[in-house]
Amino acid sequence: MTASPITAKEKRIRLIAVNQVLNVIRGKGYEPSPAMRAAYDRYINGEIEWDMCKELVKKIAAKESQQNKSISGK
């Protein structure tokens, strides 16, 4: 499901919201992966809505967590 085209104002609002989320994530000592940042970019650009963005980020985080466990042997 794709989002409707957004205005420049809505894009700025989305960018501010995503930057706030990223600041919280970074404040906890994590750096979002390129795949996560790409999902947020899709939201900012109006390609997807927030609910889909959250689901994508959760799936990416779970996949990366499993990959990291495999690499570390835990």
* pTM for the model: 0.84
Buried b (16+ CB within 10 A) or exposed e, 35-70: ebeebbebbbebebeeebbeebbeebeeeeeeeeee
Candidate from 10-14, 30-34, 69-73 with smallest mean pLDDT? 69-73
pLDDT in tens, 26-65: 999 999 999 999 999 999 999 999 999 999 999 999 999 8
